[in-house]
Chains A and B, each alone.
Chain A
Amino acid sequence: NAGVMQNPRHLVRRRGQEARLRCSPMKGHSHVYWYRQLPEEGLKFMVYLQKENIIDESGMPKERFSAEFPKEGPSILRIQQVVRGDSAAYFCASSAGSYNSPLHFGNGTRLTVT
């Protein structure tokens, strides 16, 4: 069952370190989305990518956050110089792209900044 694969499942970083979160979309999906979820809150859109292109990054913080989806390999969400406020669950999702296609989510990466 080749669903959306995210790793690591849990990630602990000290303040100032870098966090790299990986996401492999479902087979056949070329659209990838990253969402952030704070405890007891809904999912907030961060960025939407297609292969080698950032389509919509309106939800990304202006500094320290970046995302890529290279031609080969998984999509990467990178957070540089992490701060305590970055602690959250980060979800990746993929879809076939049409507006009636559901997003299929991975199990998320829970980032804890100490």
Chain B
Amino acid sequence: AQKITQTQPGMFVQEKEAVTLDCTYDTSDPSYGLFWYKQPSSGEMIFLIYQGSYDQQNATEGRYSLNFQKARKSANLVISASQLGDSAMYFCAMREGNTDKLIFGTGTRLQVFP
């Protein structure tokens, strides 16, 4: 079974608008962490934001916020005020408390247009 599911292979958004990238996960471990990474066309993996399973509040980092709905097992990334430089692949990942490895989703390609 897929542990991390990203159902949107591609998304388009106009500059300065907000966009939500979907991520659902599957785990029976009560302790886990959820991560989002950005991969621009240059290829590097850039860590964006983290949400812990016990965190009471949704994580925010600048223009990035995580809409964490634990009961629905979703951890959607919200990018506010999109910029052209946000065009990239975005990967959701999960780490369960009893392991140390990150499991990645298949990614969403975001394109921001003027």
Residues of A near any B CB (own CB < 8 A): 31, 33, 35, 41-45, 48, 55-56, 59, 89, 91, 93, 95, 97, 99-100, 102-108, 110
Contact = CB atoms under 8 A, between A and B. Distances in A.
Contact of A102 (B35, B43, B44): B35
Interface stretch (B67-75, B76-84, B93-101): B93-101
A105 B43 CA distance: 11
Contacts of B43: 89, 107-108, 110
Given A99-B32, A103-B47, A42 B107 contact: yes
Contacts of A106: 44
B100 A99 contact: yes
A97 B99 CA distance: 10
A48 B100 CA distance: 8
B100 A31 contact: yes
28 contacts: A33-B100, A33-B101, A33-B102, A42-B91, A42-B104, A42-B105, A43-B45, A43-B104, A45-B103, A45-B104, A48-B101, A56-B100, A59-B101, A93-B102, A97-B100, A99-B32, A99-B96, A100-B52, A102-B35, A102-B47, A102-B50, A103-B35, A103-B47, A104-B47, A106-B44, A107-B43, A107-B44, A108-B45
Given A41-B106, A56-B100, A108 B47 contact: no
10 smallest CB-CB distances across A and B, nearest first, come from A105-B45, A42-B104, A102-B47, A43-B104, A42-B106, A45-B101, A107-B44, A100-B33, A99-B97, A100-B52
